[in-house]
Amino acid sequence: MVKREAVLFDLDNTLYDYEAPHKKALAAAFSELKKTIKISKVKFNYLFKISKAEIKRELSGTASAHNRVLYFQRLIEKTHNTVNPTIILKLYDAYWNSFLKNVKPFRETLRTLKEIKKKGLGIAIVSDMTTHIQLKKLKKLGISKYVDFLITSEESGSEKPNSIMFLLALNKLKTSPDGAIMVGDNTVADIEGANSVGLFSVLIKKGPLAKKHKEDYQKPNATIKKISEVLSILDELE
């Protein structure tokens, strides 16, 4: 058996809870918009939802599909029937300032990453998002000192499960698929992608996808409920 040299992690809902800071961030953006127009929270949430869906559909497979500034631009175009740079940027800043203020790693994340580094293994984050924001998350989560490389869909030009993101991470870590494992919460993006290149795939049942996993479709090599269980898997693979 090939010795494991690295661990690839998804970021959102794998190493931290995305949903809680996202809800607070949306509330902050709503409060900012209320300063300029009369709008209910229900209508704001609805407009954000459909604006996000439109951008994701139009830019599917690209990092831009996750860019909040595009979501808010589309939302303001719907409320004001024109572009308004000042308001759009205020909503964007309000969202991310709140998000980054409230983001926290899962309780076992820091210890797990520390133990992985003690084993002499490399760590890479493989994430569908823009690099600028994911770098900020790494800093706010306090995990940047454990992460060797960050690979985003913005850098690779394609989103997971496209193999290019995983192969780029392996290339940076100077290892092969046999020498690494991939940990993520999404059976399509993370598990299908990992399986396609021959990585040992680990599904973590966290976040909103926890009850929606279709393991019969993309079966992981292992399933865990908390990130610290990765350490036991690494021990078993030695």
Alpha-carbon distance 48 to 205, whole Å?
27
pLDDT at 206: 76
Query: What average pLDDT does this structure show over 110-134?
Result: 96
The pair of structure tokens assigned to 207 is 């976040």
Given 10, 128, 185, 190, which residue is catalytic? 10
Buried b (16+ CB within 10 A) or exposed e, 8-35: bbbbbbbbbbbeebbebbbbbbbebbee
Kindly report, residue by residue over 196-207, the tens digit of the pLDDT: 999 999 999 976
Q: Is the pLDDT of residue 1 over 90?
A: no
Encode pLDDT of 56-95 as tens digits. Answer: 999 998 889 999 999 999 999 999 999 899 999 999 999 9
Q: Is there a contact between 13 and 137 (Cβ–Cβ < 8 Å)?
A: no
Which residues sit opposite 198 in a β-bridge?
Answer: none
Q: Tell me how far apart the terminal alpha carbons of the chain are, to the nearest angstrom.
A: 8
What pLDDT, on a 0 to 100 scale, did the predictor assign at position 223? 94
Reply yes or no on whether 10 is catalytic.
yes
Q: Is 12 a catalytic site residue?
A: yes
Cα–Cα distances in Å, from 47 out to 15, 52, 124, 196, 213?
29, 8, 35, 37, 28
pLDDT beyond 60 at 216: no
Residue with tokens 């929270």: 41
Q: Which residue has the higher pLDDT, 179 or 213?
A: 179
What dotted CATH number matches 6-17+105-237? 3.40.50.1000
- For strands 149-152 and 180-184, give the pairing: unpaired
Model confidence at 127: pLDDT above 60 = yes
> Residues of the chain with pLDDT > 70: what percent?
95
**Predicted local confidence at residue 218, as pLDDT:** 72
CA distance 189 to 182: 11
What element of type H or E holds 173? helix 163-173
Neighbours of 72 (CB within 10 A): 27
Structure tokens at 212: 């929606």
Rounded to the nearest integer, the mean pLDDT of the chain is 93
What are the extents of the domains in the chain? 6-17+105-237, 19-102
